[in-house]
Amino acid sequence: MSAKVEIYTSMFCGYCARAKALLSRKGVDYVDYDVDADSSLRETMTRRAGGRTSVPQVFIDGRHVGGCDDIHALDAAGRLDELLADS
């Protein structure tokens, strides 16, 4: 699996921890953007995520796939691995 995965998170967010744990269990390398450390990252995330302001927000190969519940639902449906495969 070698898709480019980006996740916008904040430090004390349980949903962020769950999303990152799922990606880690799948052996996915990802870029983690801490929106608390840099307010411009939150603005970028919101723009890229179509107005969503909550964390986490996950992008695979530049495509917004949603938050924690969304990637868990994709995984349960067997579709997350497809998205993570080399495109």
CATH code matching the domain that covers 5-84, chosen among 3.30.360.10, 3.40.50.300, 3.40.30.10, 3.40.50.2000: 3.40.30.10
Domain borders along the chain are 5-84
Sheet containing strand 63-66, edge to edge, reads 30-34, 5-9, 57-60, 63-66
pLDDT value at residue 2:
80
CA atoms of 5 and 23, how far apart (whole Å): 9
Q: What is the pLDDT of residue 86?
A: 62
Collapse the DSSP code of 64 into the 3-class scheme (helix H, G, I; strand E, B; otherwise coil) and give the result.
strand
Q: What is the mean pLDDT of residues 21-31?
A: 96
Written as six digits, the tokens of 74 are: 């994709």
pLDDT band (50, 70, 90) for residue 25: very high
Residues 6+ apart with CB under 8 A from 32: 7, 9, 20
Is residue 16 very low, low, confident or very high in pLDDT (cuts 50, 70, 90)? very high
Predicted pLDDT of residue 87: 56
What's the confidence (pLDDT) of residue 45? 98
Q: Which two tokens stand for residue 3?
A: 């898709």
